Amino acid sequence: MMSVPSSAPSRPPAADATPRCAVCGTGSRQAPFRPEPPEQAPDLDLRPGEPVRSTMARWLQQCPGCGYAAPNITRAHPAAAQAVAAAPFRALMAETGYPPLARRFLAWAHVLEETGALHAAAEASLQAAWVADDLGKPELARLWRLDAVALWRSGPPLDAEQTVRVIDALRRAEAWEDAAATAEALGRSHPPEAVAQVVALEARLVAARDAGRHTVASALPPPARRPHVAHQRIAGRSESPRGESLLARLRRWLGHR
């Protein structure tokens, strides 16, 4: 289905160098992460399948000094230092009610939001929700999914790919009316057949008040696979490029050339 455009690591520093935080200059050991393509179908919100699914703890680096988190902490937007030094970021770092790994993704989301990359911030917020899912914390997962939706909608106009993910986030957060209305509107736009199949599944799940996890393979013939989030890229302060169409991605996952 769709790409997860936010947390894309840059090339890690050389093995013999100590990575230094681009915000505060603190040096720390940071293990590079080079994921293999997932073997299982992604979820409808594009969380990758196994074996990549279980590697979230390695998707982001975090500075032990200032708390700055990013796929590669040796790089930062010029405004990142100001965001990290501000009270909201410090309060987030001190929030013990949030799981540590979720705080890492929320820290990245905060910096992205403050530097204007709203869609990328939505992706990072959604990934925090995935952490909450894994830890059995549904209220936090719901909160962060709704945060992701708000960020998606606050940024540039959404394409069909992003809108399907908004629908899934709303469904998983049990925002039934909003999910149904968004699915109906996307369906009326006459999307490509593969997109329409996914939207139809989402609509059925919403009607059944099903807030559970479902995979792309539920809507489309297997195998449904996609590149891991780490193969995508964010460039500076701009939103992630849309690149290939959702239909093209779906065909690629399904092995259709």
The pLDDT assigned to 31 comes to 81
Which tens digit of pLDDT belongs to each residue from 76-96?
Answer: 999 999 999 999 999 999 999
- CA distances in angstroms from 61 to 28, 56, 70, 162, listed in the order given: 10, 11, 6, 26
- C-alpha to C-alpha distance for 163 and 246, rounded to whole angstroms: 11
With 90 as the cut, is the pLDDT of residue 74 above it?
yes
With 70 as the cut, is the pLDDT of residue 54 above it?
yes
Q: Which of 123, 128, 125 is nearest to 99 (CA)?
A: 128
The pTM is what?
Answer: 0.81
Task: List 70's β-bridge partners, or say none.
Answer: 61
- C-alpha to C-alpha distance for 20 and 217, rounded to whole angstroms: 41
Which tens digit of pLDDT belongs to each residue from 120-145?
Answer: 999 999 999 999 999 999 999 999 99
Tokens 């403050």 belong to residue = 114
3-state helix, strand, coil in the chain (%, to 5): 50, 5, 50
The pLDDT assigned to 221 comes to 62
Average pLDDT for 224-251: 37
Q: Which of 4, 114, 123, 116 is nearest to 52 (CA)?
A: 4
Of 43-47, 122-126, 222-226, the least confident: 222-226
Which tens digit of pLDDT belongs to each residue from 3-38?
Answer: 333 333 344 444 446 889 999 999 999 887 887 787
Q: Are 203 and 180 in contact (CB under 8 A)?
A: yes
Write the DSSP symbol of residue 20: B
The pLDDT assigned to 128 comes to 98
Task: List 69's β-bridge partners, or say none.
Answer: 62
